[in-house]
Structure formats: C-alpha cells, structure tokens
Amino acid sequence: MNLEHKVYKKLLDVPKGQITTYGDLAKAVGLKNGPRIIGKIMNKNPYPVLVPCHRVVMSTGKIGGYAYGEHVKTKMLSDEGIEIINGSIENFDKKLFKF
C-alpha cells in the first residue's frame, strides 16, 4: 500500500464531529516531521466525499487550507458540529481525535 492510501485509510478512523491535526495524522502513519507531506496528500485527495480530509486541521486550532477553499472547509466542519470562530476551532482539545 502506498503512502497516500495509508494516509487516506487512517483518516477514515476520524469520526464525524471530530478532527485531527496534520502532525497527528503523520505520526499515526509512521511519518516523523510529516505535517507538510500530509498537507500535500490532503490537497491531492481524489476521494474528498469518501475520505474526510476537511477533518485535518492545524495544531494551532486554525482550520488550515482546503483544496476547495477555506469557506467550504469551514462549512463542512460546522455542519458536523465543529464550532469555528475567526478561523479557529472552539474547544479544540475536546474535538481532537486520538489515534
């Protein structure tokens, strides 16, 4: 299994209404210092409806980028019950999924 598929498969573990960070997802697939790699993989996600890359956010609590625009990512996260104020996730630690 290539790295992209490994990352997408691991991301499927993150349930609706929760988020993970680029760094935590990198660690979960065995990448050290891999947040940028994860970001590039998320940007190329060919299955955005099936693989919820919108649930991957920055470790600072900011939502981070999204191939279809940050406003779309914000809407998708909000629809899943994630509260976002000024581009940051409220109660970040409580919404964070632990692998």
Which residue segments constitute the domains of the chain, with CATH numbers given?
3-95 (1.10.10.10)
Whether 84 shows a pLDDT value over 90: the answer reads yes
Q: Does 21 participate in catalysis according to the annotation?
A: no
pLDDT (0 to 100) of residue 48: 85
pLDDT > 70 in the chain, percent: 100
| pLDDT tens figures, 30-59 | 998 899 999 999 999 998 889 999 999 999
pLDDT (0 to 100) of residue 16: 96
Q: CA dist 84 to 31, 38, 77, Å?
A: 28, 22, 8
pLDDT (0 to 100) of residue 49: 81
Among candidate residues 7, 31, 53, 63, the one labeled active-site is 53
Cα 81-46-95 angle, rounded to 5 deg: 20
Mean pLDDT (the chain) is: 95
